[in-house]
């Protein structure tokens, strides 16, 4: 584990890396780099609607990945 990184942060970062690349980039830019949707769209060269879709799908996938990890850890 990285010094100063909580186990939860490590788990979220690992889950982000498991997302499809477009979703992972979008989620990282929004939640880690704290960029607004309009800036992410400009950076990635996609529409704001695409950014919003990727964020929505990325959040759903992260929820599933993290829930699976919790289930495995508790087993």
Residue ranges of the domains in the chain?
Answer: 7-74
Q: What is the number of other CB atoms lying within 10 angstroms of the CB of residue 7?
A: 8
pTM listed for this prediction: 0.84
Q: Are 28 and 16 contacting, i.e. CB atoms less than 8 angstroms apart?
A: yes
Q: Provide the token pair at 63.
A: 């929820």
Whether 2 shows a pLDDT value over 90: the answer reads no
Which CATH architecture best describes the domain 7-74?
Orthogonal Bundle (1.10)
74 versus 36: which is more confidently predicted? Answer: 36
Rounded distance between C-alpha atoms, residue 55 and residue 19, angstroms: 11
Q: Are 15 and 21 contacting, i.e. CB atoms less than 8 angstroms apart?
A: no
């Amino acid at each position: 584990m990285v010094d100063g990184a909580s186990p939860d942060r490590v788990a979220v970062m690992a889950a982000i890396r498991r997302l499809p690349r477009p979703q992972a980039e979008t989620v990282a830019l929004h939640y880690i780099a704290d960029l607004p949707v309009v800036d992410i769209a400009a950076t990635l060269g996609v529409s704001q609607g695409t950014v919003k879709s990727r964020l929505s799908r990325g959040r759903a996938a992260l929820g599933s990945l993290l829930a699976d990890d919790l289930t495995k850890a508790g087993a």
